């Protein structure tokens, strides 16, 4: 099959592309606008594959999306392109509305037109077509009951501009399925971590700050709970949903790893003390800072549906995944140093 991945140069998207090219025989079309978080270096190991194509394009460009679909004729669209950092959404919500809502709308319309044309020209291909929308558990808000978990039936209650924009895009996808019959599947995932993560997110930020001897800023008292999912486990789950998920269904994807933010930072400090010891324990760098506005206290995913229906479960525990992540950052200092100074951007790779 040929699978079109939007946002394939991003953190999760690149893991999906690597998985598809390394572990399957499917062809991949990577569509990415190469904004600040898009990094083609994360695909250096697979970019030479004859099954890989890259299209530098913005999902808000309707003509470009129509052209990409017409040229490559994908069997599946996996939509991962999004603005995803909560702090950035608080400082500047407009980009999140533009990309996450209007970008999804533009892509849905392009996909609908393409799929309807397939129904006339290649009905068998049209019958197997899927539009997979990748979303977040943050659309559900936070959990008050310590025993409660997010299920696919949990009501939406987004707290931030980011999560509100993703909730909006989820609703659009479901509306295009119900109104136009577009065959869609959705997935909502917990917090991801792993190699090639942009340094603004918690785990890579803590690793790189610690190695630089900088403060490790923890919001509030650090008791916010998140369910952590190793990105390569997530990539496997996403491909399973895209190819085997039932049309119209939603699948929650989680790692069964509920940890407070402070627990995560403590574990990272201890791993760095072991693998890259400094002059003093890294825990001494922890600094508590003013909490984020509207900060959700607890997220936790019930991933039972994807396990029962599609046979997926995470391969990594939090301990094994975090150890691999720390080791990756220690082994790839040149990569994250280029990310930090901006020298990884597409024009330096000859794609712009």
The active-site residue out of 162, 196, 299, 329 is 162
- In the residue annotation, 137 being an active-site residue is answered as yes
Known catalytic residue: 233?
Answer: no
> DSSP E strands: which ranges in the chain?
2-6, 27-32, 52-56, 76-79, 130-136, 184-189, 191-193, 216-219, 225-230, 250-253, 258-260, 286-289
Q: How far is 101 from 98, CA to CA, in rounded Å?
A: 6
Strand, helix or coil for residue 235: helix
Distance CA 139, CA 130 (A): 22
Q: How, if at all, do strands 52-56 and 27-32 pair?
A: parallel
Catalytic residue among 75, 137, 227, 232: 137
CA distance 254 to 277: 32
Is residue 23 flagged as an active site residue?
A: no
Q: Which of 58, 83, 138, 232 does the annotation list as catalytic? A: 138
20 CB-contact burial (10 Å; exposed 0-12 / middle 13-18 / buried 19+): buried
At residue 111, the 3 state secondary structure works out as helix
Q: Could you tell me the CA-to-CA distances from 189 to 57, 155, 237, 348, 352 in Å, in that order?
A: 25, 15, 10, 32, 32
Q: Which residues are catalytic?
A: 137-138, 162
């Amino acid at each position: 099959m040929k699978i079109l991945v939007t946002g394939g140069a991003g953190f999760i998207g690149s893991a999906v592309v690597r998985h598809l090219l390394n572990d399957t025989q499917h062809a991949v079309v990577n569509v990415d606008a190469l904004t600040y978080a898009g990094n083609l270096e994360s695909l250096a190991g697979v970019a030479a594959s004859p099954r890989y194509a890259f299209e530098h394009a913005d999902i808000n460009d309707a003509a470009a999306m129509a052209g990409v679909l017409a040229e490559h004729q994908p069997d599946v669209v996996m939509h991962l392109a999004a603005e995803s950092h909560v702090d950035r959404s608080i400082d500047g919500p407009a980009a999140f509305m533009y990309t996450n809502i209007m970008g999804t709308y533009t892509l849905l319309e392009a996909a609908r037109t393409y799929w309807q044309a397939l129904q006339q020209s290649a009905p068998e291909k049209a019958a197997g077509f899927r539009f997979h929308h990748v979303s977040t558990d943050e659309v559900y808000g936070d959990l008050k009951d310590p025993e409660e978990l997010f299920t696919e039936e949990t009501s939406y209650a987004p707290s931030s501009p980011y999560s509100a924009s993703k909730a909006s895009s989820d609703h659009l996808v479901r509306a295009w399925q119900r109104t136009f019959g577009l065959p869609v599947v959705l997935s909502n995932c917990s917090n991801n971590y792993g190699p090639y993560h942009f340094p603004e997110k918690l785990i890579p930020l803590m690793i790189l700050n610690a190695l630089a001897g900088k403060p490790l800023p923890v919001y509030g008292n650090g008791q916010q709970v998140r369910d952590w999912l190793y990105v390569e486990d997530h990539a496997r789950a996403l491909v399973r949903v895209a190819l085997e998920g039932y049309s119209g269904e939603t699948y929650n994807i989680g790692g069964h790893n509920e940890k407070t933010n402070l627990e995560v930072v403590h574990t990272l400090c201890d791993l760095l003390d072991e693998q890259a010891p400094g002059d003093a324990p890294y825990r001494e760098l922890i600094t508590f800072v003013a909490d984020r506005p509207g900060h959700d206290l607890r997220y936790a995913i019930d991933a039972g549906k994807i396990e029962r229906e599609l046979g997926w479960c995470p391969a990594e525990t939090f301990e094994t995944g975090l150890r691999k992540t720390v080791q990756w950052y220690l082994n790839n200092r040149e990569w994250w140093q280029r990310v930090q100074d901006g020298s990884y951007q597409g024009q330096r790779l000859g794609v712009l």
